[in-house]
A and B are shown apart, each in its own frame.
Chain A
Amino acid sequence: MVLYFLKRAALTIPTFFALMFLTFAAIRLVPGDPVEVRVGERGISPERLAQFRHELGLDQPVWKQFFDYVWALLHGDFGTSVVTNEKVLTEFFTLFPATVELSLSAILFAVMIGVPAGAIAAVKRGSWYDQTLMSISVVGFSMPIFWWGLLLIMLVAERLHLTPVSGRIDLIKFYFEPVTGFMLIDSVLSGQKGALLDALHHLVLPVIVLGTVPLATIARMTRSSMLEVLGEDYVRTARAKGLSPFRVIGLHALRNALIPVVTVIGLSVGSSMAGAVLTETIFSWPGVGKWLIEAIGRRDYPALQGGVMLISAIVISVNLLVDVIYGVINPRIRHGR
């Protein structure tokens, strides 16, 4: 088992190096640098331009910049933002809890609705319910997040006044300093009456928007997996034994059908991080997605490189963990059979 884990972990090393190179090269292929972006119409004298580029190390040959960057990264130094002069690691972990809170809530929302909806569709295969659900899931799967977000804001928040428009908490009613960065936890820790409810209220729309695509994927996956399992011998046996339909479907069929669904859920964590970029922008959600978008605009190389590496490290770690769990559940995977 240890050997299996080490093998899997070793495989991530080239992935990290490839990512380091890609993030470094990609941002440099975009024209403009942090100094030029900062300057604006007023221009800059060649002397000052040279001085700033020197201070940022941009006057060094690109290969040297790359090796300096890799060397610093290997020493745990993710650099300093050229815009705010804050450590990238500090900025990232200030904003990351907001992204995690949003992504996990969206996945939870998708699982809680997607799994039962998919299972019911499989059991009632061909019914109007099944057909309606599958049609809706196709729409959900292809929903453009930005448009969907704005539509919900206009309809639910603006027209019907059912939810707040954006943000994480009512800024007039509540004020407390963040402790963990997770608003749901901080609102409880603040001891302010109604804060948790308000924070949950603010989560509703962004969670629906970010959770729509995973919800559709999970529902479809559960349905097809359930259909496969429902035809298996052990399900027939369970029925023949006279077990109640609830026990047959809930205990025997669904539990087995969920194995591929778990894989999809694992992958959705990564994709919901990517989706969070747009959702955070629409809902003024102070997470890493919005931060990275701004870093591109400002050509903030260290923030962008560090941010992408940190997110990649987290996603790769989650995948590694999923692989290891698979190895534990199914020894055939571990032994390469």
Chain B
Amino acid sequence: MHSKARRLFAAGFAVFCIGTLPAAAKTLVYCSEGSPENFTPAVNTTGTSFDGARPVYNQLVEFERGSAKVVPGLAESWEITEGGTVITFKLRKAVKFHSSATFKPTRDFNADDVLWTFNRQWKPDHPFAKVSGGKYDYFSDMKMGTLMKSLDKVDDYTVKLTLSEPNAPMMANLAMDFASIHSAEYADSLVKAGKLELMDQQPIGTGPFAFVTYQKDAVIRFKKNPDFWGEKALVDDLVYAITPDPTARYSKLKAGECHFMIAPRPADLPEMQNDPSLKVINQAGLNIAYWAFNVSKPPFDNKAVRQALNMSIDKATIIRDVYLGAGQAAKNLIPPILWSYNDAVKDYAYDPEKAKTMLKEAGVTAPLEIDLWYMPVQRPYNPNAKRIAEMMQSDLAKVGVNAKLVTYEWGEYRKRAQQGEHMTAQLGWTGDNGDPDNFFFLRGCTGARAGGQNITKWCNQEYDDLLAKAAKLSDTGERTKIYMRMQEIEHEEAPDLKIAHSVVYETMRKEVEGYKQGPFGGHKFNGVDIK
């Protein structure tokens, strides 16, 4: 009896000990596709670089994890006044910056950090303006320099942004990666140390993970920020295993060497979907692939010809054979996941006979000789432009149109297409900020000038006026009505044939929980756990 009691005590003690043991550290390994240029999104342009910096930083306002909805970030609230030209941000208090071996913050985040962040990109005389090449492409592309009239610190926790004109997409712009907030105190310490470039190489932010180390082309390591103000990290360590080859990424995922992989090959998807140890999720990409008709060149100045060509292409076959199912037919410039999508628009049906008749009625004598430009590169919205061009060429031949396939080096291709040298050309777009304006501007009159991004060179006054009007309105309901109308105009005028919105797939191991796929293709790992 005595020995039984001793055994019971021993067992109880063992259970107690196991119960009080510290839990093993959880490490989430993400098989990423490449190395970041550095860790300051403002000087970068690639999704790879943004992904590398994203765990570290916050913006004033942010995209909700897994959606395009703008929610409070480092600004707790904001007020838009004076006809939409003044935005006053109330900043979040008690937000800590990360510490590193070389920097220990002595104060919390405040208005100085906001001013430092934007002034670096805006003011050429800023001490950091020329650091890391000093090219602020997104700040420039989103026209921030001309839209911002002034940025003032009202007090430590209030910042006032004055705009030169009302601009509805501004809040979405501020949620983009280039607007990530940096520590002005860290910058000062680097100025004193004479090591300005470390600002972009050893990042200090307020995000859910703190940067630990980066080994070029090999690995980026982050650790959980226990003081994070928002949705906390659920793993202790986050590791980006840089694995450029998609086949190797898939093999690593299967072998359990990583938990999550970016950009699976479409050909691997069926096998992935049947693997019980993996989870495959997908979302319509925030993008569009189109075939533009240059309306400044006959016969594309004739609406009926453009409409006829819209009926001559078998879009469903292209999506099946080129996108391998990872695409959905497009009928509007914006993808269906974006607010203001006009689902009432009816796509042109594939009808070669009707197309032939319409071309004849439009006075086009067969065979019509045209050129058809295709991109020499794979893009997120178009996996194989050459193959699509070949399929289009075959479809066009059936309606009496002889298409000559043309391509150039990628930089040259864009330049020539923007100059309007083509008759017809494939291109596309990937959205930046989830605001419809970021798509509709592609068909605006400003871009229709030689060298502009509107490679259809189509300029419709009603469409353009509506575009300008919507950008100045802050009422989403009003803007939606305008964008709905613009989609009708564009459908009727048919300056292009909208090919597809690609579907973005992501694959992870079954044990990964809580991941939310975002519409912009980026990755956020706070709130993600391994069970």
Contact = CB atoms under 8 A, between A and B. Distances in A.
A40 interface: yes
A98 B45 CA distance: 28
A284 B245 CA distance: 8
Contacts of B415: 36
Given A41-B429, A172-B29, A177-B213, 14 more contacts: A32-B411, A32-B412, A48-B140, A84-B38, A98-B218, A166-B252, A167-B219, A171-B27, A172-B27, A178-B215, A282-B245, A284-B248, A291-B216, A291-B217
A94 B216 contact: yes
A80 to B, nearest CB: 9
A84 B34 CA distance: 13
A51 B198 CA distance: 25
Contacts of A91: 216
B241 A43 contact: no
B243 interface: yes
A208 to B, nearest CB: 15
B411 A85 contact: no
B409 A31 contact: yes
Interface string B120-133: 00000000000011
Given A153-B251, A286-B216, A290-B217, A31 B412 contact: yes
Contact of B414 (A39, A46, A172): A39
B427 A165 contact: no
B109 to A, nearest CB: 27
A150 interface: yes
Interface string B19-39: 000000001010000110110
Contact of B255 (A39, A82, A165, A284): A165
Contacts of B264: none
Interface string A159-186: 0010011111011100101100000000
B251 A41 contact: no
Given A43-B418, A165-B248, A291-B217, A85 B38 contact: yes
Kindly state the interface size class of chain B when it binds its partner: 35 or more
A204 interface: no
A295 to B, nearest CB: 12
A84 B430 CA distance: 24
Given A91-B216, A171-B239, A284-B243, A83 B37 contact: yes
28 contacts: A30-B409, A32-B410, A36-B412, A36-B414, A38-B45, A39-B414, A42-B137, A42-B141, A43-B414, A43-B418, A48-B140, A85-B38, A98-B218, A154-B251, A157-B251, A164-B257, A167-B218, A167-B241, A168-B218, A281-B244, A282-B245, A282-B248, A284-B217, A284-B242, A286-B216, A286-B218, A290-B217, A290-B244
Contact of B133 (A41, A82, A291): A82
Nearest to B135: A52
Contacts of A78: none
A283 interface: yes
B217 A41 contact: no
A290 B216 CA distance: 11
Contacts of B241: 167, 171, 284
A41 B411 contact: no
Nearest to A168: B218
Contacts of A85: 38, 132-133, 197
Interface string A43-58: 1001010001000000
Contacts of B218: 98, 167-168, 284, 286
B452 interface: yes
B428 interface: yes
Interface residues of A, number: 49
B411 A31 contact: yes
Nearest to A293: B244
Interface of B: 27, 29, 34-35, 37-38, 45, 132-133, 135, 137, 140-141, 197, 213, 215-219, 221, 239, 241-245, 247-248, 251-252, 254-255, 257, 379, 408-412, 414-415, 418, 427-430, 451-453
Nearest to A284: B243
Interface in A94-114: 94-95, 98
Given A31-B409, A165-B257, A153 B215 contact: no
A59 interface: no
B255 A158 contact: yes
Contacts of A283: 248
Contacts of B242: 284, 286
Nearest to A161: B255
Contact of A158 (B215, B251, B453): B251
A40 B45 contact: yes
Contacts of A172: 27, 29, 239
A85 B243 CA distance: 22
A161 B215 CA distance: 26
Contacts of A198: none
A32 to B, nearest CB: 4
Nearest to A42: B141
Contact of B247 (A38, A52, A150, A294): A150
A95 B247 contact: no
Minimum-distance CB pairs A-B, first 10: A36-B411, A31-B409, A286-B217, A32-B411, A286-B218, A284-B243, A165-B251, A165-B252, A85-B132, A172-B27
Contacts of A281: 244-245
Nearest to B45: A38
A33 interface: yes
Contacts of B247: 150, 153
Interface string A250-287: 00000000000000000000000000000001111011
A48 B145 CA distance: 13
B452 A43 contact: yes
Contacts of B215: 178, 286
A137 B242 CA distance: 34
A186 to B, nearest CB: 11
A83 to B, nearest CB: 6
Given A165-B257, A166-B248, A46 B451 contact: yes
A22 interface: no
A25 interface: no
Nearest to B379: A41
B37 A158 contact: no
A37 interface: yes
Contacts of B428: 41
